[in-house]
A and B are shown apart, each in its own frame.
Chain A
């Protein structure tokens, strides 16, 4: 995959196939579902303990975390087929893809690098695609905006 993002001063142009956009949308939908349904395969990782010495984490903190994750996932899902993203929307993609990558690996019981070798090719590809998109987003979000006049 060649660089699918191109940054201007205040936005990011997106050049992704419909298939990859469907993947982004689906991952965001799964993250969102994981915040709402405790039986979803993503739910366990999304509800990780915060303070390990407490019997139970503060409900307000847990709610705040769920709200932030769900909001970013909703933004990502609703912009998955957009040609252009604002920087805030691109940040939401970044967070959601990373949260989704984490939750997916958790649902696949990947805890050490060797676990990746036993995954079936489709699952490995799903993780790799999230990593590729994240890598591109790091580059484009951290690069200085190009001067459109040049």
Chain B
């Protein structure tokens, strides 16, 4: 879970700490959407073919996309049981994100977001919006 996401600020000190806090994320592109997932949740990245027979969690259908049939698979850190992979589409690499890069979504739009996304977003140097995957919600939904 991204520790600084969706946090309700409780005073200036908390806000300052939130802005300065950093978390490592894995950035990936699932067709039109750019997303990140917490890097600590992923133990390695495989090709689609290498994940044959693995249980796959696929965010694509929850984003209004057709199910993934190719691309990279993130092997999730084991919680016991069979190995589980996360469909990542095209992996762009690891980044370090500070709270400064996180933006609150307008309240009138929060209701539109799929349940597997956090109700906030990040943005990069080119002002491209990057969505944050809520892995726990995806596990529950899957």
Are A and B associated in one complex? Answer: no
Query: Which residues on B are within 8 Å of A, measured CB to CB?
Result: none
Query: Which residues on A are within 8 Å of B, measured CB to CB?
Result: none
